[in-house]
Structure 1
Amino acid sequence: MSDFRPRRSVLYMPGANARALEKAKTIPCDGLILDLEDSVAPDDKPAARDAVCAAATSGEYGARELTIRVNSIGTEWHDDDLRAASQAGPDAIVVPKVGSAGEVRSLVAAMESAGAPDHTMLWAMVETPVAILDALAIARASERLGAFVIGTNDLVKELFAEHVPGRGPILPSLHTALLAGRAAGIAVIDGVYNDVKDTDGFLAECRQGREMGFDGKTLIHPGQVEGANEAFAPSAQAVEDARGIVEAWESRTSGVVTVNGRMIEALHVDSAHRTLAIHDAIAARRSG
């Protein structure tokens, strides 16, 4: 996992707000989604498109993973957004409401036709019932698909559900998207938490997402970055335990290995290596 990239905190920033784009250069998040969709009024979309594409080519955002969210398929802005974003060459292009494997293939073909460089991946937002039900096919549709971004607000709306602590109404959908993402080997990034003043609720949802297996969380406010970074990073104890497991496994003299009274198998070693890879990638990002 030497190419592991942390995605603990992926922050939406409005593409029409010049001050926000400037501030984003200093926020210690792992990734940015420069938004052309929900946060931008219709009349402002062309200017916002120019601004985020200029940001993507500026080289001024350091080690942050820089992505652009375009308007969804079928809107009057989508084609121009996708073409401009492809030519700007961010780390990824985020597309809302992707609903089928065919749409993924069409999006990838359009990106390549527009000249998207090889490093520019597609991130698909999974936020409708049909996308959840077809999640595995979507996840496997193209090697250029690098991540699922869960759109929990739209998913709750489409299900006629309610936002409640613990997210019980959408847990089956979240698990389904995670299963599909892991089967396809792509990242899966949790949805946003809407109440920026409810720190306890936000941190509880971060812990839940980490325990479920998400790579990180999308965020709507810079004040949420620190909590997400901590929640989705291995703890000091987890890193110490992982090192002990790897060391014991590599120095074993028989087929049976125990660490602190716990029998260790190859699957535990794999998990330990992943923990250490995440830890090392986070440390490298801090020093970069």
Structure 2
Amino acid sequence: MTDTLLRPRRSVLYMPGANERALEKAKGIDADALILDLEDAVAPDAKPEARERVCAAVTSGEYGHRELAIRVNGIGTEWHEADLAAAAQAGPDAVLVPKVNSAAEVLQLVTALEKAGAPEKTALWAMVETPVALLQAAEIAAAHDRLTVIVMGTNDVVNETYGLHVPGRNPVVLTSLSIALLAARAAGKVILDGVYNDVKNLEGFDAEARQGREMGFDGKTLIHPSQVEPANAVFGPSDDEVEHAKAMISAFEEAKAVGQGVVTYNGRMVEELHVRDAQRILALHEAITAR
């Protein structure tokens, strides 16, 4: 697995770029990653000041282990070009662009980042959140190596399909999540689940996070610090999962050493694909521990 895939992104917290106090508070929040937001969380007249504040936060070097992404305003908005140029110069871990609708737009964004002098470490993250993007998700995910993470915009999916927000998520949202996840995995990219809106309903959040984990997402985007700890717990390997993975690998290696063609562990047949998944779990656990 690549370093990009192994980097923990269990909890990815949006922070409003216009709120200096929130940006300061984020330095003590144990999220794996922070998205410093210049889009939805910032009023139009506050966007230039927020841009300066967010870029200064990135260059401060005061956020420790946390991966830092800047969410710029989308292609075609009056703020997009200035946002992208400033973010490129600040050199965060990633620049997140909302409503990326095609592979051509991915290439456009990569070219713009390069022209603006973005360092090689600055990846492109793309939000998939419209019907047209979902119908082209595979092409978007595979468009360029600089695109490393797909971020689901589930609120926009609901809005643009005229659906409803319901417990367990409506069928169109679940279909959208599945399509995007398959596209990301086919291209070898990380994919993050969308946000959960009811910050006071921790039981509901936990259920939705577990659904995302069961589907195969790498982590979840968050809108409140109270969601960080539950997300870390759900999307990180538990102690039992780690011990199970170690024992499975050991049993497989012992059986192969004596020439056994079929390996069983805890009464179940174990194949190479099970071992690969166990190795992935251990690698993620080690990356979290090392963080």
Map of 1:106 onto structure 2: 108
33, 38, 54: which one aligns with 1:36: 38
Map of 1:259 onto structure 2: 265
Map of 2:135 onto structure 1: 133
One-letter code aligned to 2:227 = Q
Map of 2:183 onto structure 1: 180
121, 124, 142: which one aligns with 2:123: 121
1:67-120 per-residue CA deviation (whole Å, 9 max, x = no partner) reads 000000000000000000011110000000000000000000000000011110
CA distance in 2, matches of 1:148, 1:239: 27
1:71 aligned counterpart, secondary structure: coil
80, 83, 87: which one aligns with 1:81: 83
Kindly state the Cα deviation for residue 2 of structure 1 after the two structures are TM-superposed.
Answer: 6.6
Map of 1:211 onto structure 2: 214
Map of 2:14 onto structure 1: 12
In terms of mean alpha carbon deviation, does 144-153 or 276-285 score higher? Answer: 276-285
CA distance in 2, matches of 1:175, 1:83: 33
5+ unaligned residues in a row in structure 2: which ranges?
Answer: none
One-letter code aligned to 1:35 = D
CA distance in 2, matches of 1:132, 1:87: 31
CA distance in 1, matches of 2:2, 2:125: 21
1:252-272 per-residue CA deviation (whole Å, 9 max, x = no partner) reads 212221111111100000000
8 A contact 1:2–1:277 mirrored in 2: no
One-letter code aligned to 1:275 = I
CA distance in 2, matches of 1:115, 1:248: 50
1:215-250 per-residue CA deviation (whole Å, 9 max, x = no partner) reads 000000001101100010111111111001111222
273, 285, 288: which one aligns with 1:282: 288
CA distance in 2, matches of 1:102, 1:203: 37
173, 196, 221: which one aligns with 2:199: 196
CA distance in 2, matches of 1:101, 1:228: 30
8 A contact 2:11–2:33 mirrored in 1: yes
Map of 2:57 onto structure 1: 55
8 A contact 2:14–2:223 mirrored in 1: yes
TM-score of the aligned structures, taking structure 1 as reference length: 0.98
8 A contact 2:163–2:170 mirrored in 1: no
TM-score of the aligned structures, taking structure 2 as reference length: 0.97
Map of 2:70 onto structure 1: 68
244, 269, 272: which one aligns with 2:275: 269
CA distance in 1, matches of 2:69, 2:2: 22
CA distance in 1, matches of 2:110, 2:78: 19
Aligned residues between the structures = 285
1:83 aligned counterpart, secondary structure: helix
1:251 aligned counterpart, secondary structure: helix
Kindly state the Cα deviation for residue 168 of structure 1 after the two structures are TM-superposed.
Answer: 2.5
Kindly state the Cα deviation for residue 251 of structure 1 after the two structures are TM-superposed.
Answer: 2.2
CA distance in 2, matches of 1:248, 1:121: 39
5+ unaligned residues in a row in structure 1: which ranges?
Answer: none
1:170-219 per-residue CA deviation (whole Å, 9 max, x = no partner) reads 11111000000000000000000000011111100000000000000000
In terms of mean alpha carbon deviation, does 2-11 or 85-94 score higher? Answer: 2-11
1:22 aligned counterpart, secondary structure: helix
Kindly state the Cα deviation for residue 283 of structure 1 after the two structures are TM-superposed.
Answer: 1.0
1:11 aligned counterpart, secondary structure: strand
CA distance in 1, matches of 2:110, 2:2: 26
